[in-house]
Amino acid sequence: MELDGIYENMTPRNSLPQAAKGLSQHDYNLGQNSVFTHRKPRIIYTALALLVLALTVALSAVTSLYLQVKTTDMISDVHLWKARLEKVNASIAALRGQNEILRQRLSEIYTVYKGSLYYFSCTEKPWVDAELSCISKGSHLTSVTSEDEQRFLYNKANGFQYWNGLNRREDKMTFHWTDGTLYDEAKTKEFWVTGEPNNDKNNEHCVHFSRKALKSWNDLNFFLKEPEMISRGIDQLGQVMPPSHQAAF
């Protein structure tokens, strides 16, 4: 009797749970495998989601760090260019100051008249030396092409005698200007002192301003000493133009 009670309380090894009553052993096992099969994709998806989240956080951190470094570099570049710009502005200001000083000094020596820059020397020299001095300054002894210019020059000379560029040293007969300007005898005949040019003693081949008057030209021996009168053209931008002709000696 006791053994029979023991066997009654034991569940058979392959017996099904109460909830699975009515199912065959094969169907029950198939259901159990299906439960485990459905659980595995969920775990994988969860792991992938966590991995994507971690990668997103890492990418955001790297991007933020890159932007911080880039911003720092840009700020450094801005400061560098700002410093360079300040130096350039300082240099420009210094050049403007020097230009103003130079302009003031030039105004004391040079005179501008109708697009030309004139220099009146105080040093007396023979005509050839005066012309060479002008060439060393990048110009020539002045030419005169109009009555207005003639009046300006003799008024500026104020009675002092100055060489101009008119001469006939090449053939002792034909006058020409050293700067290459065409000599118009008919147009300038009123600029000569009465009776000039007379080529006194056949040895007067250069011309100077002899007085403060419209008729002030006089031919003279080029070995005599007079100050030079220089002129140079100025373009519309205020730049001094190079001489158009080099005198032959």
What string of DSSP letters covers 145-208? -SHHHHHHHHHHHTT--EEEEEE-TTTSS--EETTSPPP-HHHHGGGBPTT----GGG---EEE
In tens digits, the chain (249 residues) has pLDDT values of 444 444 444 445 455 455 445 545 555 554 555 544 555 677 777 878 888 888 888 888 888 888 887 888 788 888 888 888 888 888 888 888 887 777 766 666 778 888 888 888 888 999 999 999 889 888 899 999 999 999 999 998 888 999 999 999 888 899 999 999 999 999 999 999 999 999 999 999 999 999 899 999 999 998 998 888 877 664 433 344 444 444 444
The pLDDT, as a whole number, for residue 240 is 42
Report helix, strand or coil for 77. helix
The pLDDT, as a whole number, for residue 6 is 46
Give me the residue label for tokens 């000039």: 196
* CATH number for the domain formed by residue range(s) 114-233: 3.10.100.10
End-to-end CA distance of the chain: 159
Q: Would you put residue 142 in left (φ > 0), alpha (ψ -120 to 50) or beta?
A: beta
